[in-house]
Structure 1
Amino acid sequence: MRKGSSLLYVKIVTAKGKRYAYFDTGVLNPSGRKIYKRLPPLGDPAFGATYAALLAGRTRRENVATELTVPKLVDLFQRSPEFRQLAHSTQNTYGIYLRRIADELNTAPAQEVERRDLLMLRDKMGDRPGAANGMIRTARALFGWGRGREHVTNDPCSGVELFASTDHAPWPEDLLSAALASADAAVRLPVALLYYTAQRIGDVCALRWSDIRDGLVIVRQQKTGKELEIRVHRDLAAELERTARRSITILADPRGRPLSVNALRARLQRFAEAQGHKVVPHGLRKNAVNALLEAGCSVAETSAVTGQSLQMVEHYAKRRSTRRLADAAILKLEGGKR
C-alpha cells in the first residue's frame, strides 16, 4: 500500500505541520481494523532499520500464512488452550463443523480463503439451515482465533449472513403423552428425565444415580457449567423407583454402558416417527418450559429449573399454549370475584 509515500506499506499523516510515518503490519485487531506501527521520524537514522524489520516481519507472516492450509489451521485451533477451555459440548459441536470445513477446503491456503468460499459451504447445506448456521459460526471462531494468533489476516466470514432457521418445536401433546406412558422403558425413562428436569440431552445422558439425592436432581450443565438443584417431580421419582440400576449413569445401553447422546437421539426419533411425528429430543426442553409457565411459575422460577437466562426462557415460551394461559387467567378472575 502506497499512500502518500513511495515506501511499501507506509502511510504518511500530516498533523500540525509535521509528517508522521506509520507502517501497515497486515494484522487486524479484534474489531477488524488494521494495526499500524509508528515509525521513527523521517530522516532519523533509526528509520531505515525499523522499517526493514517491520517489512521483514510482515513478509514472513504472509509467507507462513500462505503455506498454512485450512486443515492445518483447524488442527492448530483444536490444540490451542483457547479451544480446550471451551465447554466439552461446545468442543464436540465445533469438532463436527471443523471436520467439514477441513474436508471441503482441504488444499486451500487459509490466508486465501474468501467470503465466496464460505458462502459456497453455507449454500451447499441450504437444506439444513440450522447446520449451515452452525458451520458458519464455527468458521467465525476458527478464523477469529487465527487472526488473533496472527496465523492469518483475512476474515472470510465477514458479511456471510446466517440462514433464517426455525426453532425446534416442542413435542405435540399426544406424542409426549404416548412417550411418558410407553410400555418401552427405553423410551419412557429418558423422556421423563428430559421433560421433568428440562435439561439438554447431553446433561441427561450424563446423569448418574449418585446425582439423585435428598429428593433433588443435581445437574452440572456441560454447556454453561452451572450447577442446578432441581426438585424431583413425583412422576419422575416413580419412574426412577421402577428402574433397575445397571450402570453408574441412569441411562445405559443393553450392555450396561452409559448411553450416548447419538444413540438416545436416534431412539427417540424412531419412536416419534412410528407415531407419525418428526421431532428432536431438544423439543422436550420447550415442553418443560411451557409446562412450568402454564402451571403459574414465574420466568425467574422457570429459569432456576432450566438454567437458562430470563430472556431465553421467554424465547422458548413463544409456543406456549395461549388457550391454557387464557383459561388460567379467567379462572383467576373468577376466583377473585366476591
Structure 2
Amino acid sequence: MPRKLPLHVHKQKTRHGKWVFYFRIGKGKRVRLPAPTDPTFKAAYTAALTGGAPLPVPKVYEGTLQWLWDRYTTESAKWAGYSPATQKQQRLIMDKVLKKAARSALTTFTQDVIQEAVDKRHETPALAANFLKVMRGLFGWGKRMRAVTVDPTVGVELPAYKTDGFPAWTVEDVKKFRAAHEIGTPERLAMELMLLAGLRRSDVVVVGRQHIQDRVLSIDTAKTGARVTVELSEDLIKIIDATPRRGLHLVENSLGKPFVKESFGNWFRVKCTEAGVTKSAHGLRKLSATLAAEGGAATHQLLAQYGWTNLSTAEIYTKGVDRKRLGIEASRIVADQIGNIEFPHPISGEGINPKKAIKTKAKK
C-alpha cells in the first residue's frame, strides 16, 4: 500500500504528471510543502501545523535525480512494499547522493558513472552493494515508467570480495554467556530467544506475551514481513516465566520499557563483553541456523524458522552441512571401491609373515 500522508497533507498531480504536496485544514489556505521524502519536510509540516512562517520549497525540475526519487518514493509499489527499516536505510544512502546530485539531469547518469560510484565504495563492500541496490530500484522503476530511456545500472559490477559477515557464535560462547548472566535477567532471555527461537534483534524488541499461545510463538518479522511460527521449548518457557517485566514485551530495558533496535544492539554487545564474548546479536542467530542445519533441517524448514524469503540465504547453511555429509559418504564409497582392487603384492599385516615374504622374493 502507498505510504499514508500526515494529517492535513494532500497530494495533487500537476499537468506535467508530477506529484506536489500541500498542507490545508478544511477550506483554509493551502501551503505548499516539499515531498515527504525530503529532509526539510518535517520542519515545513511543523511550521504549517503550528501557524509559523512557511519554509521556502526548493524547486524540483523535471528530469533531475531529485524529481525521479520523489516520484519513485511516492508512486512505486516496490518502494511501498519495503519494510520501514529498509526504507530508512535507503533514504539515508540517497540523502548523501542527493546532497551533491539532486539537480543533475538523469541523462548524466550513465553506466560508467554508476560503476565509478560503486568502485569508490570498494573499501566498504556492503555499502557498495546497498548503494547499487538503491540505484537499481530507482532506475529500474524509472525505465519501466519511461521516465528514463536507459537503465544505467545494467551491467554494473560489485567489487569482488569474500566475507562471512558477522562472526557466528560458538557453543563455548553460549556457555560463557549463560555462566555470566543468570536466568531471570533480560539479557539471558534475549540471548535464549535469539538462539532457541532464532529471532532477529528487530523482532526480539517487539515480541511479547501476545505473540505466544500454547507454547507456539507467531510474529511477522520486521525485516521481511514474513510470518514466523516456532514452538518454544520447555526450558525457554521457564526462562520467560522467570524474567520479571512490567508490560507485555518479553525483553525490557532497565526502565521497564521496550528497547528500540539500535539501542538493544548496543546494550546486548555490552552484555556480551561482560561475559567475555566478542560477538554480536546477529552472530548468535547464525549459530542457531547452523545447529538447525546440522540437525537435519531442510532449506524450506530454515526459511520458515528464520523468516528468510530468499532460498540462497538458507542454502548458505544447508550447503555447508550437505557438502560435509556428502564428502564423508563419497570417501567411504571410494574406500569400498579401492577395497575391491586386487593388490599385486601382499600387504604386511595380520596373517602375513614379513620375513617369509622377503625370503620368497629373494629366491625368485
TM-score over 0.5 (shorter chain): yes
Does structure 2 retain, via aligned residues, the 8 Å contact 1:294–1:324? no
* 2:47 corresponds to: none
* Separation (CA, whole Å) in 1 of partners of 2:220 and 2:156: 35
* 2:206 corresponds to: 206
Match of 2:181 among 183, 206, 211: 183
Q: Secondary structure at the match of 1:206?
A: coil
> What displacement does 1:167 show?
3.1
Identity rate, percent:
24
Amino acid at match of 1:282: H
Does structure 2 retain, via aligned residues, the 8 Å contact 1:194–1:284? yes
* 1:166 corresponds to: 163
- Deviation string 1:84-143 (CA, Å, 9 cap, x unpaired) is 233334323323322233235344223322233323332333222112111111110011
Q: State the TM-score, normalizing by the size of structure 2.
A: 0.62
Q: How many corresponding residue pairs?
A: 264
Matched, 1:114 2:82: no
Matching of residues 1-338 of structure 1 within 5 Å:
67-82=62-77, 83-163=79-159, 164-168=161-165, 169-183=167-181, 185-272=185-272, 279-308=279-308, 311-317=312-318
> What displacement does 1:278 show?
5.3
* Separation (CA, whole Å) in 1 of partners of 2:61 and 2:318: 48
> What displacement does 1:243 show?
1.6
> What displacement does 1:145 show?
1.4
* Separation (CA, whole Å) in 1 of partners of 2:270 and 2:323: 30
What stretches of structure 2 of length at least 5 have no aligned partner?
A: 1-59, 329-364
> What displacement does 1:321 show?
11
* Separation (CA, whole Å) in 2 of partners of 1:253 and 1:133: 34
* Separation (CA, whole Å) in 2 of partners of 1:220 and 1:76: 29
- Deviation string 1:148-196 (CA, Å, 9 cap, x unpaired) is 2222223221222123342323223333332344327343222211111
* 1:54 corresponds to: none
> What displacement does 1:304 show?
3.5
TM-aligned CA distance change 1:167 to 1:254, over 3 Å? same
* Separation (CA, whole Å) in 2 of partners of 1:310 and 1:248: 33
> What displacement does 1:235 show?
3.0
> What displacement does 1:277 show?
6.0
* Separation (CA, whole Å) in 2 of partners of 1:153 and 1:242: 61
* Separation (CA, whole Å) in 2 of partners of 1:231 and 1:106: 49
Does structure 2 retain, via aligned residues, the 8 Å contact 1:248–1:258? no
> What displacement does 1:301 show?
4.0
Q: Secondary structure at the match of 1:256?
A: coil
* Separation (CA, whole Å) in 2 of partners of 1:250 and 1:325: 41
* Separation (CA, whole Å) in 1 of partners of 2:66 and 2:154: 20
Does structure 1 retain, via aligned residues, the 8 Å contact 2:61–2:103? no
The higher radius of gyration belongs to: 2
Is 241-250 or 268-277 further displaced after alignment? 268-277
What stretches of structure 1 of length at least 5 have no aligned partner?
A: 1-64, 328-338
TM-aligned CA distance change 1:157 to 1:174, over 3 Å? same
* Separation (CA, whole Å) in 1 of partners of 2:285 and 2:115: 32
* Separation (CA, whole Å) in 2 of partners of 1:265 and 1:257: 15
* Separation (CA, whole Å) in 2 of partners of 1:137 and 1:194: 28
TM-aligned CA distance change 1:208 to 1:159, over 3 Å? same
> What displacement does 1:211 show?
0.5
Amino acid at match of 1:206: V
> What displacement does 1:260 show?
1.4
Does structure 2 retain, via aligned residues, the 8 Å contact 1:66–1:110? no
> What displacement does 1:262 show?
1.2
- Deviation string 1:286-318 (CA, Å, 9 cap, x unpaired) is 211111233344444444422446653231345
Is 104-113 or 188-197 further displaced after alignment? 104-113
* Separation (CA, whole Å) in 2 of partners of 1:216 and 1:225: 18
Q: CA RMSD in A?
A: 3.4
* Separation (CA, whole Å) in 1 of partners of 2:94 and 2:220: 26
* Separation (CA, whole Å) in 1 of partners of 2:248 and 2:304: 26
* 1:23 corresponds to: none
